[in-house]
Amino acid sequence: MVMLSPPTDALTDGHGRRIDYLRLSVTDRCDLRCRYCMAEDMTFLPRSAVLSIEEMGDLAARFVARGIRRIRLTGGEPLVRRGIDTLAMRLGALIGHGLDELTLTTNAMRLADHAPMLADAGVRRINVSLDTLDAAAFRNITRVGDLAIALRGIEAARAAGLAVKINMVALTGLNEDQLLPMLDYCAANSFDLTLIETMPLGEVAEDRSDHYIPLHQFIAPLRAARNIFPIDKRTGGPARYFAVEDSPVTLGLITPLSDNFCATCNRIRLTVEGRIYMCLGQDDHIDLRAALRDGGDVDGLIDAALAGKPRAHDFHIERKSRPAVARHMSATGG
Ligand code: SAM
Ligand code: SF4
């Protein structure tokens, strides 16, 4: 295990943006097959291409030593990765030693088993992807998922003391009727809710534009029923936040297509292959795996990645157009 000294310098990209947030994709595998994310017959990376848990821990610690203050574990589904408990414990031990926060994004299918471990590791809040509260629609969107298992996982997280934010992808024809029920569910459980537009990442064996809906359209029924007000909450991330009349829920909107959010981007992504992707919506990357395994200049490569971080993504979602990038969200780490 590589031991590293406390942070020395802040990471800043070539456009002057301070980079202090790392999304760490711990696997490209998943136990669901959400229609907007993956094809049903996805091919996953061979195990030889994938970083070990120890290598991931070493790289993450190196990023913390370079000024990363927040890490989110993601995937694929992070809780299907064997050794995720070891990694969470190792990264959790960095909290207060350079790292401010360790979080996780999950589909909740295995959360009932892992929630206490996550809390022990120092995780205080998690994002859970839940696009509908209708069991048949949940099965349809995820192709294989069981809503009851996800809801039990979320309940276990709450019982373990983890704050939960629900992420809901807006999908016309699949979950348009679910916004008000989801808002009520979140209010009843003291969860926040963030809505996300579908992004054109990776082939999914159907035309994503069939289900794309801009968020201003998706939330029109909510606006008709209740007032919503912009609030001055900032997380350095892509969401804009709103208060909803008569509801305790903070509503986040992520609109990569209808309203570009790149100017304040504070993050980079490290894949399970050891590649740094500077932008979710571009193909440019720098490979750290060989340098890590051969004792190369990992810090020099991190600097090169930062210098090359693009100003903005390049998403379009015209009908039948090819995805903006061939890589799936599950490979880069959503
Ligand atoms: N499996 C975990 C989950 O679903 O929460 C973590 C990884 S998943 C790739 C992270 C987030 O990306 C989820 O909230 C998911 O809904 C979202 N996502 C996946 N593909 C997307 C796409 N093409 N457009 C928009 N959001 C997407
Ligand atoms: Fe799996 Fe998350 Fe992609 Fe759904 S969105 S297929 S749960 S990685």
| DSSP annotation of 248 | -
Using a cut of 0.85, tell me whether the model's pTM lies above it: yes
Quick one: pLDDT at residue 212? 87
Instruction: Tell whether ligand 1 has an atom less than 6 A from the beta carbon of residue 132.
Output: no
Mean pLDDT (the chain) is 87
132: pLDDT strictly greater than 90: yes
Instruction: Tell whether ligand 1 has an atom less than 6 A from the beta carbon of residue 37.
Output: yes
Q: Whose CA is nearest to atom 8 of ligand 1?
A: 334
Which ligand sits nearest to residue 203's alpha carbon? 1
* pLDDT tens-digit map of 222-239: 999 999 999 988 776 778
Atom of ligand 2 nearest to the CA of 75: 8
Nearest to 47 by CA among 66, 28, 72: 28
> Are 32 and 128 a contacting pair, CB within 8 Å?
no
Q: What angle do CA 175, 256, 228 make, to 5 degrees?
A: 60
Q: Whose CA is nearest to atom 26 of ligand 1?
A: 198
Q: Measuring from each residue's beta carbon to the nearest atom of ligand 2, which residues come in under 6 Å?
A: 30, 32-34, 37-38, 75-77, 107, 129, 330
* Residues 113-139, mean pLDDT to the nearest whole number: 98
Q: Whose CA is nearest to atom 25 of ligand 1?
A: 198
pLDDT higher at 310 or 81: 81
* pLDDT tens-digit map of 291-304: 999 999 999 998 88
Quick one: pLDDT at residue 304? 84
pLDDT higher at 136 or 208: 136
* pLDDT tens-digit map of 3-49: 444 444 567 877 777 888 999 999 999 999 999 898 888 889 998 89
* Residues 105-132, mean pLDDT to the nearest whole number: 98
Percent of the chain with pLDDT over 90: 65
**CA 143 to ligand 2 center in whole angstroms:** 11
67: pLDDT strictly greater than 50: yes
Which ligand sits nearest to residue 256's alpha carbon? 1
Q: What angle do CA 77, 138, 31 make, to 5 degrees?
A: 25
Atom of ligand 2 nearest to the CA of 328: 3
Which ligand sits nearest to residue 74's alpha carbon? 1
| Residue 207 C-alpha from the chain's centroid | 22
- State how far the Cα of 50 lies from the Cα of 81, in Å rounded to an integer: 11
Q: Which CATH class is domain 21-332?
A: alpha beta
126: pLDDT strictly greater than 50: yes
Quick one: pLDDT at residue 267? 78
Quick one: pLDDT at residue 6? 43
**CA 223 to ligand 1 center in whole angstroms:** 25
Which stretches does DSSP call E strand in the chain?
11-12, 18-19, 21-25, 70-74, 101-106, 125-129, 163-170, 192-197, 228-230, 240-244, 250-254, 267-270, 275-277, 285-287
Q: Pocket of ligand 1, candidates 37, 142, 253: which has the most ligand atoms within 8 Å of its Cβ, to mutate?
A: 37
70: pLDDT strictly greater than 50: yes
Residue 174's contacts (CB-CB under 8 Å, 6 or more residues apart) are 35, 131, 132, 137, 140, 141, 211
**CA 4 to ligand 2 center in whole angstroms:** 33
CB neighbours of residue 296 within 10 Å: 13
66: pLDDT strictly greater than 50: yes
Atom of ligand 1 nearest to the CA of 128: 5
Quick one: pLDDT at residue 12? 80
* pLDDT tens-digit map of 250-289: 999 998 766 555 666 777 889 999 998 877 666 778 899 9
